[in-house]
Structure 1
């Protein structure tokens, strides 16, 4: 079995298309999405359509929750709140009621069978929160307490921090997928994770996909996205 895990698309449909093409070239059997589909990019509706067309397993991210109910004080830095609320409204206005209901109804976590012997527990930030931040440099004890609560799982995968990594703790695997649409690790290539398994054997690896980021920036200008400077800062590298 070969499963592709993608996360943190953030309305970047151009990146989604590039990643899906790469996944198809690697002959993945399944795609699982770990949230943050629409918000903070120029093509929220097309990004959602691309994901829904796959009929994948999808779990909810904090940005999906924000699209549904708005951003509350204390959830983002005070100096960013007004602009992020403007971006949220811009995004929500471009989605249908059915789209909003879809995001609202997403589950917070899921367990995926890579093989009959290997289970993968997936969630956006932690199993108990859409918003908690677990950094790549956290001590093993912190990672275990926040991310590895499902004792039956062998692999734990999450998104949210946009920083891809793989770690091994007490015989189990923990990994962050990075971000398809807004990577924060200084490389503007889309990031996702591929897991392959047979019986008790498996391997996981971060995949990076180069695409035309200038196309995303042009699109943001064409549709009058309210915060194009943010996209330029992340993608124009």
Structure 2
């Protein structure tokens, strides 16, 4: 079994296309999964939903997807401005799609969530690589768990638990146009994970952000310099 895993597209169609194209070199796949945060903070929210569907990618709900779908308030003024902008541009069908996303998916013995198994809204610090083993098991349980939310790829192994952060398509920790994804392979009952990054030209996304009046966001502003 081979799976394509990624997370945190955040409405960045240019980065999503870069991942889908680069990932073809490592296929074919038995499944493709996006682990949440599909639309908010980028200039192409609905287009990203359409592209994921077109590509046959199964998605689950991230915290920002639930902000949008459940008419929740965001925790900061910047995020709230993006929520208002994004909601105004999503069709009723797109909002219904977001409302229908599950919080978890499963492939063989691999559990997939956005942040932690208990909630996609959990503190990103609980999704970090340095979480003490006892705390990690208390938060994630046992077994094999793939997730996103905290934008940085890693593999953390502790007794009874393996955590895989599949990394983000958009808004990486550094202000650079790098889209990341993970290829998971299961053979003879054992999993291996290869984590990849692909640079892309952000010009189309930046042009769309300006043309569509995307509210200011620090990562996009840092790209411009």
TM-score (ref. length: structure 1): 0.86
Q: Deviations over 1:68-119 (max 9, x none)?
A: 13343xx62xxxx233212111111111111101101111111112xxxxx1
Of residues 67, 80, 104 in structure 2, which corresponds to 1:85?
A: 80
**1: CA distance between counterparts of 2:219 and 2:197?**
21
**1: CA distance between counterparts of 2:7 and 2:100?**
17
**2: CA distance between counterparts of 1:230 and 1:185?**
8
Aligned position for 1:3: 3
Q: Deviations over 1:50-77 (max 9, x none)?
A: 11112332110001011113343xx62x
Q: Deviations over 1:20-72 (max 9, x none)?
A: 00111211312011010000001101111111112332110001011113343
Aligned position for 2:67: 66
Q: Please say if 1:139 is aligned against 2:132.
A: yes
Question: What SS class does the counterpart of residue 17 from structure 2 fall into?
Answer: helix
Please tell me the root mean square deviation across aligned C-alpha atoms, in Å.
Answer: 1.8
Aligned positions, number: 221
**1: CA distance between counterparts of 2:174 and 2:192?**
23
Q: Please say if 1:104 is aligned against 2:99.
A: yes
Summarize the Cα distance change of 1:141–1:22 in structure 2 as closer, same or farther, 3 Å threshold.
same
Q: Deviations over 1:121-179 (max 9, x none)?
A: 110011111111222221122211112x2x4x4x2111111121111111542111111
Of residues 112, 119, 128 in structure 1, which corresponds to 2:118?
A: 128
Summarize the Cα distance change of 1:230–1:201 in structure 2 as closer, same or farther, 3 Å threshold.
closer
Summarize the Cα distance change of 1:106–1:220 in structure 2 as closer, same or farther, 3 Å threshold.
same
TM-score (ref. length: structure 2): 0.91
Aligned position for 2:37: 36
Contact 2:177 2:201 survives alignment (8 Å): no
Contiguous gaps of at least 5 residues in structure 1: 114-118
**1: CA distance between counterparts of 2:114 and 2:137?**
16
Contiguous gaps of at least 5 residues in structure 2: none
Contact 1:214 1:236 survives alignment (8 Å): no
Of residues 181, 199, 205 in structure 2, which corresponds to 1:192?
A: 181
**1: CA distance between counterparts of 2:119 and 2:83?**
20
Aligned position for 1:232: 221
Aligned position for 1:45: 46
Aligned position for 1:170: 159
Of residues 201, 221, 235 in structure 1, which corresponds to 2:190?
A: 201
Contact 1:188 1:236 survives alignment (8 Å): no
Contact 2:137 2:161 survives alignment (8 Å): no
